[in-house]
Amino acid sequence: MTKRQRELLNLIPQCNILCDVGCDHGIIGTQALVQHKVNQVVFVDISAPSLDKARILCNKLGLDKTTFICQDGLGNIECDCAVIAGMGGLEIINILSTASHLPPTLLLQPMRDVIDVRQYVCNNYRIMVDRIIYDKKYYNIILLTSGTDTLSRDELLYGRTNLSDRSEDFVKYLHNEIRKYKIITKQTNKKELVDKLIDYERVYQQGDK
């Protein structure tokens, strides 16, 4: 398993039914069963060949408390926790907005548009974990439970637990963004780019207080 997959697996709570949306090879769902974190897994993917890979892996591991559904998103599936990882943030928002039943727990890993995701989910969820990890590239992982939430500007832009915990990966991310924007702003002095650099430096320096 990759570091990203391990981080996702570690955040899955003990529950009855897990839905692995966009399951691809089915690694997250199968390992949740193997580690007895969940009793059943519903594997969902819009790609039938990908769903077959998950089915083959389950058969290889002798896992039978499984269901396989070829569709786009959650649809009318009912579950205790849904993992939606490895897709764009706007696609995740579309999956949630068209779901017939929102699960009490969500575990999201948007590949982009993470700010849009944070804004959207706060209408129905409270953010419990929102952190960045490095696994050859940077990934945002967000764990949510039912409720509503209000985010500060910095929480919206940078992630709640990134700011509170200031992990090594988050500090490295800030450092990389500062270095990147210093190069960019030497080539152009566009206000929005200069403002981004100033903001990254401000958040980075908060760790020195």
Q: Regarding beta strands 81-87 and 66-70, do their DSSP bridges make them parallel or antiparallel, or are they unpaired?
A: unpaired
The encoded tokens of residue 80 equal: 């205790």
Sheet holding 81-87, edge to edge: 66-70, 38-45, 15-21, 81-87, 105-110, 138-146, 125-134
DSSP 124-164: TEEEEEEEEEESSSEEEEEEEEES-----HHHHHH-HHHHH
Spatial separation of the C-alpha atoms in residues 98 and 121, rounded to whole Å: 13
- By CB neighbour count within 10 A (0-12 exposed, 13-18 middle, 19+ buried), where does 141 fall? buried
Q: Which of 122, 119, 37, 52 is nearest to 83 (CA)?
A: 37
Give me the pLDDT at residue 208, please.
63
50-to-33, 83, 94, 110, 169 alpha-carbon distances in Å: 19, 16, 21, 19, 31
Tens digits of pLDDT across the chain (209 residues): 899 999 999 999 999 999 999 998 899 999 999 999 999 999 999 999 989 999 999 999 999 999 999 999 999 999 999 999 999 999 999 999 999 999 999 999 999 999 999 999 999 999 999 999 999 999 999 999 999 999 999 999 999 999 999 999 999 999 999 999 999 999 988 999 999 999 999 999 986 65
Instruction: Report the predicted TM-score, pTM, of the whole model to 2 decimal places.
Output: 0.94
